Amino acid sequence: AQSVAQPEDQVNVAEGNPLTVKCTYSVSGNPYLFWYVQYPNRGLQFLLKYITGDNLVKGSYGFEAEFNKSQTSFHLKKPSALVSDSALYFCAVRPGGSSNTGKLIFGQGTTLQVKP
């Protein structure tokens, strides 16, 4: 079965420290990988995506993510966290190739708490 896992329900970091939110996946074909952020009582906002090419992709608000094919991971990172980064983060995968029907498979979400 195709799935996405975010192993941490919550990540706590101090402002100014680097942050990592983990994501691993199990899908067929070469997948398309996405990160979304959700602020309270809002919809999901797109942060970044990996389609092909350089394994390190950069996105909005200073976030970046590293694709690791051998470990089937796509961890979200930021060198210096801000209190305003506190939100719920979702990793999502769209299977590639012949398995691509447009559907996105989401992880369960990770709450990021950045403390001053």
In the complex, which residues of this chain contact other proteins (CB under 8 A)?
A: 4, 6, 9, 32, 34, 36, 41-46, 49, 51, 90, 92, 94, 96, 100-109
Residue 113 — φ and ψ, nearest 5°?
-115, 115
Residue 80 CB, nearest distance to other proteins (Å)?
Answer: 25
Residues 21 and 8: their CA atoms lie apart, in Å, by 8
Residue 106: CB minimum distance to other proteins, A: 4
CB of 12 to other proteins, least distance (A): 18
- Alpha-carbon span 20 to 112, nearest angstrom: 9
Minimum distance, C-beta of residue 19 to other proteins, in the bound complex (Å):
20
CA separation for the pair 29, 16 (Å, rounded): 38
